[in-house]
Homo-oligomer: A and B are copies of this chain.
């Protein structure tokens, strides 16, 4: 992966928010819609952009498409994701996204086992 390709994926606000969220946990499209407050087409097209460049991977789970960062990541990608997480801590938009994510994780139970965090009842897939 060329370094500049990473930045090309990072250079749109919506994609940046998506990647920042994915650095926390895998999510499905409707979660992005909910958290970012953006229409489905917009989310879906940015995810297609990222998929095409292998910045994210998608896996179907019943009706939902689960998106996540690739399991094996180039060190440059890893470094830049870490940098993004650090920088995002002082940005209200990204902080808001994390807050909305936390809220979602406590209220949303679909797809099945999605947010099976250790503190709640675990439903292995």
Chain A interface residues toward B at CB < 8 A: 2-4, 7-8, 10-13, 16, 75-76, 79-80, 82-84, 86-88, 90-91, 94
Contact = CB atoms under 8 A, between A and B. Distances in A.
B80 A3 contact: no
B76 A87 contact: yes
Main secondary structure of the interface of A (DSSP, over half): helix
The 7 residue pairs across chains A and B that have the minimum distance between CB atoms = A7-B10, A11-B11, A76-B87, A7-B11, A83-B83, A8-B11, A4-B13
A88 B3 contact: yes
A91 B10 CA distance: 19
A79 B87 CA distance: 8
Nearest to A17: B4
Contacts of A2: 13
A7 B7 CA distance: 6
A84 B32 CA distance: 28
Given A7-B11, A7-B16, A12-B4, A83 B90 contact: no
Contact of A83 (B12, B13, B80): B80
Contacts of A75: 87, 90
A62 B82 CA distance: 42
